[in-house]
Structure 1
Amino acid sequence: MQPHTEPQTDPTPASVPASPDVTGYCDGSASAPLHAAVATAMDVAQRQCWGNPSSIHTHGSMAAEAMERARLQVAALVGVSPDWVTFTSGGTEANHLALEGLLADRPAGRLLISAVEHPAMALPARRLGQAGWKLETIPVDGEGLLDLQALEVQLRQGADLVSVIGGQSEVGTLQPLAAISDICHHHAVPFHSDAVQLAGKVPLAMGRQGPDLLSLSAHKFMGPKGVGALVADPALPLSPRLLGGSQEAGRRAGTQPVPLIVGMGVACAVSLDTASEAMERVGQLRDRLLEDCLKRPGMTLTGPRLQRLPHHISLLVGTPQGEPLDGRALVRGLNREGFSVSSGSACAAGQSGDSPVLTAMGIPSPWRRSGLRISLGPWVSETRVLQLPSTLDRVRRESGLVRATDLRASS
């Protein structure tokens, strides 16, 4: 009998395209490139930690130990103990687990969410409303900042949970999580925040100085797709949404994807070590880029100038005469020029209609489809990125709605 041999295969088949240049990739709020240290750690985990982490033999123990190291790394990023961390498939599942895990098995009560939530929170909240819960939105101002006085008034009537997105993905608004936490804790109401856009960008705190529950997604801070975490106070009565095994301390059934979890852990460790310095550089580049954009006729900032994510720019783009331009058409035009940006949340791609976030902020209807989001990261080229405003001018001219003479003052 001939010994069995595996066929030799090319590990990089021709059907897999080469990775495009990332120096002009300005859509970090949608997804970030994989960090080299993360890729290396995941490769090692794929080869060495492939056992089931629930098994008690050597192969299972190796996987379990790698997973628990990652849990420690995630916990360290937000300053809590590892028993707060429940691994999920991403930010969407973490939001569902926070909301439904805390509320779905209770008698219908009262839920407060901000008016500018991501659909991954707004839609499951709406479903609870349809099931009999009293769902109320907390208003925001014209820059997307939560109305703290309105929250205080609403909480006088009691609530079972407050959820406020920490960093608004579309317009970049940074919410005052510590102040919101103080108000919620004064009224003894649990506070959840979708912090998907915060990790790796700004320091995170939980408990007395922050939320009781926090949702994370690894691919937003140079980790892999397909893994995230709900970080929650173990004292909260959180029931699982996925039933089966007793993984994740009974909060989330299913065999854990150890290589992805290892990648998330390394991404957290890298963020903890380097994010402050890296984001300072990115923030300085963002400010130069924004200043140039705002000098050009027909570009207006949305969201606050100061209290915003350090890598984020959001604009309403129109003609110098005040006519809005289609944001998605501008995205396609910039893509042809080698720049990747977006016209809003990537999770809303393909949907028609006005932006709910811009609507909540009071932006006039004709302008709600003219948004352009630019979100940077440590991977971009400064020289390349600073060419974006003049490239956008060219794209606007090519739209046929803007004349070269209209933009002459900005060139």
Structure 2
Amino acid sequence: MTGPEDPYFYLDACATAPLRESVISCMVRAQQDGWGNPSSLHRIGCDAAESLERARLSISASLGAERSDILFSSGATESAHLALIGLAKTQSPGRLVISAVEHPAVAAAAHQLVACGWTVERWPVDAYGQIQMQHLDRLLQPPTKIVSLIWGQSEVGTLQPIQAVGEACRSKHIPFHTDATQVLSQGCPNWSELQVDLLTASAHKCGGPRGIGLLLIRQEIAERIQPLFAGGQQENGLRAGTECPVLAQGMAAAFREIASCQAHQVEASGSGIARLRDALLALLCQNDAIRLSGHPRERLPHHLSVLISDRHGQPMSGRALVRALDREGIAASSGSACSSGRDSDSPVLAAMGVDPAWQRSGLRLSLGNWIDPATLPNINNRIQIAIDRLEHN
């Protein structure tokens, strides 16, 4: 067990990432200069409104979007509900297609639509967690009216072929939504090149603040969405409630830094973090008790998901291992942070066809630029110690 002076390693970036220094300083300035209500007509309100729109313009530049394409929300969960339920409100019930490995937020929005007369079909995935493309033509036939796929799966890291699906949806005039929360934490895609109509994300996975997210939305789709709740006319009448310029500025700062790293190909993103991930995986897999889950190549660059067994080849509890790792000075998770508080089988692993005996043995390690490559052997040693101690308890 580690002592108070030993370093603590944070490997749970997919749950939330620490605030970037540039984000903190930007938010401090925004709080000083634009703390008013952006809807107020006096100079303090106008300063806040200007700060909010500067943040929107900055984010649009980072993502290759128009300023009018960006809608602020409280986070990706609200954005996903607005995208799916708001769009469904304006048409007669039909079929919503989602993947079998969606985030709980999208699954919950889909469940609400069932009560409104919609049917929901889950797109089957293979053993790696990728959708099975042989179902494409069937699933895009009537009565399908909306398709939603998670881009980067938060529990097992697998990436979905959203461009191919988006092209097919566009050819059939079916609105296509993607939950891109984990993908945007590692790089800024060009919205103008994506075959996507609605995209949701949160700031806090990117080193930005909690409590703010966005919905990227094509203007022709925005005209077909109804708000989730009544109130003011903020965000083009689609999201009532007083906006927070401070949080918006923080999210804008996070995206600027990600886009800058992407442009200069520095070690803090993209291939650099993937090399760090692969180096840790190579160390971990020297132990036969650890095996990779999710896709070996087409996965989030900062994401590792593994299944853990004991010396007899029997599955170990992922939640128990997370607690053991914490005692050894490592923060990790046993799946999506939104569902890890429950000791139950993983729906994602079940959808991938993982044997039921192994559906509670998943461990997720997600990295960030705060991890020094020189510390990887120490991290690996602590993980092995945690596994050994858990087995002998």
Amino acid at match of 2:313: G
> Does structure 1 conserve the Cα–Cα contact (< 8 Å) formed by 2:188 and 2:255?
no
2:88 alignment counterpart: 103
Corresponding residue to 1:324 among 287, 310, 315: 315
Which 10-residue stretch deviates more, 23-32 or 204-213? 204-213
Amino acid at match of 2:329: G
Match for 1:259 among 246, 253, 278?
246
Cα separation, partners in 2 of 1:255 and 1:21, compared to 1, 3 Å: farther
Superposition deviation, residue 149 in structure 1: 2.0
Choose which of 146, 151, 157 in structure 1 pairs with 2:136: 151
Q: Which residue of 1 aligns with 2:148?
A: 163
Native 8 Å contact 2:89 2:225 kept in 1? no
CA contact (8 A) 2:129 2:158 kept: yes
1:207 shift after superposition: 5.5
Structure 2 counterpart of 1:168, one-letter code: Q
- Scaled by the length of structure 2, what TM-score is found? 0.94
Q: Percent identity?
A: 43
Instruction: Quote the residue 1:42 is aligned against.
Output: 27
Task: Verify the 8 A CA contact 1:23 1:381 in the aligned structure 2.
Answer: no
* Stretch of structure 1 that moved more, 125-134 or 372-381: 125-134
Counterpart residue type for residue 362 of structure 2: G
Cα distance in 1 for partners of 2:122, 2:359 equals: 20
Letter in 1 for 2:378: Q
Aligned with residue 46 of structure 2, among 61, 67, 83: 61
TM-superposed CA distance for 1:130, in Å, is: 2.7
What corresponds to 2:286 in structure 1? 295
Q: Residues 254-403 of structure 1 correspond to what in structure 2 (within 5 A)?
A: 254-275=241-262, 276-277=265-266, 278-279=268-269, 280-401=271-392
In the alignment, the residues of structure 1 paired with residue 243 and residue 211 of structure 2 have an alpha-carbon distance, to the nearest angstrom, of 11
- Paired position in structure 2 for 1:406: none
Question: Could you tell me which amino acid in structure 2 is paired with residue 326 of structure 1?
Answer: S
Instruction: Say whether residues 1:76 and 2:61 are aligned partners.
Output: yes
The aligned counterpart of 1:51 is 36
Offset of 1:146 from its aligned partner? 1.1
Distance 1:28 1:306, change over 3 A: same
Amino acid at match of 1:250: G
Q: Distance in 2 between matches of 1:205 and 1:227?
A: 21
Q: Is the 8 A contact 2:209 2:250 kept in 1?
A: yes
1:250 aligns with 2:237: yes
Residue 139 (1) aligns with residue 129 (2): no
**Structure 1 residue 23: Cα displacement:** 6.2
- Are 1:122 and 2:146 matched, yes or no? no
State the alpha-carbon separation in 2 of the partners of residues 22 and 379 from structure 1: 12
Task: Measure the CA separation in 2 of the matches of 1:38 and 1:381.
Answer: 21
Counterpart CA distance in 2 for 1:23 and 1:242 is 42
Task: Structure 2: state its 5+ residue gaps.
Answer: none
Cα offset, 1:58, TM superposition: 1.4
Q: Give the 3-state SS of the residue equivalent to 1:399 in structure 2.
A: helix
Partner residue in 2 for 1:13: none
Q: Give the AA of the match of 2:326.
A: N
Stretches (4+) displaced over 6 A: 20-23
CA distance in 2, matches of 1:295, 1:305: 16
Give the structure 1 partner of residue 201 of structure 2. Answer: 216
Cα displacement (A) at 1:394: 1.1
Superposed CA RMSD in Å reads 1.7
Query: Per the alignment, in what secondary structure is the counterpart of residue 214 of structure 2?
Result: strand
Letter in 2 for 1:157: P
Mapped partners of 2:247, 2:159: distance in 1: 28
1:78/1:205 contact within 8 Å kept: yes
Task: State the alpha-carbon separation in 1 of the partners of residues 103 and 376 from structure 2.
Answer: 27
What's the CA shift for 1:21?
A: 9.2
- What is the identity, as a one-letter code, of the residue corresponding to 1:304? H
For 2:251 and 2:327, the matched residues in 1 are separated by: 32
The answer to whether the 8 Å contact 1:102/1:238 transfers is yes
Q: Distance in 1 between matches of 2:82 and 2:7?
A: 34
Cα pair 1:317 1:372 within 8 Å, conserved: yes
Does the aligned pair in 2 maintain the 1:87–1:229 contact within 8 Å?
Answer: yes
- CA deviations 1:216-247 (Å, max 9, x no partner) are 10000000000001110121111111211111
